[in-house]
Amino acid sequence: MQIEQGWLDAATRLQSANNDPRPDPADISLLVVHNISLPPGQFGGPYIGQLFCNCLDSDEHPYFAEIAHLKVSSHLLIDRLGNIIQFVPFGQRAWHAGVSRFEGRDNCNDFSIGIELEGADNIAYTERQYIVLAEVTKVLCTQYPLITADRIQGHSDIAPGRKTDPGPAFDWGHYRSALI
Torsion angle, alpha carbons of 103, 109, 115, 117, to 10: 90
- Say how many residues make up the chain: 180
Q: Write down the catalytic residue from 60, 66, 116, 127.
A: 116
Annotated catalytic residue 116: yes
Burial class (CB in 10 A: 0-12, 13-18, 19+), 29: buried
Q: Which whole-number Å values give the CA distances from 9 to 89, 92, 139, 164, in the listed order? A: 11, 17, 11, 30
Report in angstroms the alpha-carbon separations of 54 from 4, 87, 160.
26, 12, 27
Answer yes or no: are the C-beta atoms of 75 and 11 closer than 8 Å: no
The three-class DSSP label of residue 94 is: strand
Residues taking part in catalysis:
116
